Amino acid sequence: MKYKIQEKSQCRWCEGITKQGIGPIKRPNWNRWQCCNCGAIGYNDLPSEEELNELYLNAWVENDTSDRFATGSTDLGISRSLLKSVQFNHDGRCLDYGGGTGQLASVLVEFGCVDVYVFEPYGNNPGLSISWVKDLRVLDGEKFDWIFMTEVIEHITDPVAELAKVYNLLSDHGALVITTPNSLGWRARIERFRWRESQNPTHINLFSEVALKKCLSEAGFSNIKRCYQPVQYKASGLKRFLLSITQVLGVDGGLRIIAKR
């Protein structure tokens, strides 16, 4: 494994001091650390590819709603709202990197985009007029104006290496949009290692804004901004209003980052 914290007491991203904590209930031996400085959360030892495959396979096969973590939850409404909040201009060549079941791609098509690609080895094109790519090598030398990674980066064992590949796929004026859980959101601050996202064993890294910016700059990105514009998730009434406030304040459960080259 390329990525391993140098010492168990040091943060991978800011080299701050960490505290040790429990692993997910489903994998109690996979102990975690959290940085006292930047708030990032990681595993002491990276799970092997076999261990992760087993986890994903069981999540798909077992008819257990607690294992929803493998199937994702970005639906059409969230996708539309996300595109508005990042001021998506409905133009250019788009790539949804880790596109899951194609929800975001279908909204891109709905918004009038005619040049849409999805990279997703585990899924299939649900019948959209887009290009569905299962092997990233097919995209060698291609450039995109918009690349989306929604709820993907937290699952990746070597995020810097993965983002470096994405960097090479981005056009000179292109934008990468990343969404991922926020390890310094209000719920994470209260629940710490018991936080739902930390309890999901497939979440290798949980980022704070500082940690994700560090990760992106290690991968080559230089123009990195956080988006505070509210995105409408599945909430209504007062709940929706309160969620919008936490989003504007930056203490909600999700990070939305726009990175350019």
- Specify the 3-state DSSP secondary structure of 11: coil
Stretch that binds Zn ion, among 15-23, 106-114, 148-156, 234-242 (CB under 5 A): 15-23
Residue 11 is a binding residue for Zn ion (CB under 5 A): yes
Lateral strand order in the sheet of 144-150: 131-133, 116-119, 94-97, 144-150, 170-181, 254-260, 223-226
Nearer to Zn ion among residue 5 and residue 116 (C-beta): 5
Provide the minimum distance between the beta carbon of 34 and Zn ion in the complex, in angstroms, as a whole number.
9
The letter for the amino acid at 23 is G
Provide the minimum distance between the beta carbon of 171 and Zn ion in the complex, in angstroms, as a whole number.
31
Instruction: Look at the block and give the residue holding tokens 């087993």.
Output: 54
Q: In Å, how far are 6, 13, 148, 161 from 34, measured between CA atoms?
A: 14, 11, 27, 22
Stretch that binds Zn ion, among 14-22, 81-89, 163-171, 229-237 (CB under 5 A): 14-22
- Pick out residues in 24-43 that bind Zn ion (CB under 5 A): 35, 37-38, 40
Provide the minimum distance between the beta carbon of 254 and Zn ion in the complex, in angstroms, as a whole number.
19
Residue 5 is a binding residue for Zn ion (CB under 5 A): no
Q: Site for Zn ion (CB under 5 A): how many residues? A: 8
Bridge partners of residue 147, in order along the sequence: 95, 176
Provide the minimum distance between the beta carbon of 13 and Zn ion in the complex, in angstroms, as a whole number.
5
Q: In Å, how far are 132, 180, 225, 245 from 32, measured between CA atoms?
A: 35, 18, 28, 30
Name the phi and psi angles at 62, rounded to 5. Answer: -65, 135
- Pick out residues in 39-68 that bind Zn ion (CB under 5 A): 40
Residue 215 is a binding residue for Zn ion (CB under 5 A): no
Where do contacts with Zn ion occur on this chain (CB under 5 A)? 11, 13-14, 16, 35, 37-38, 40
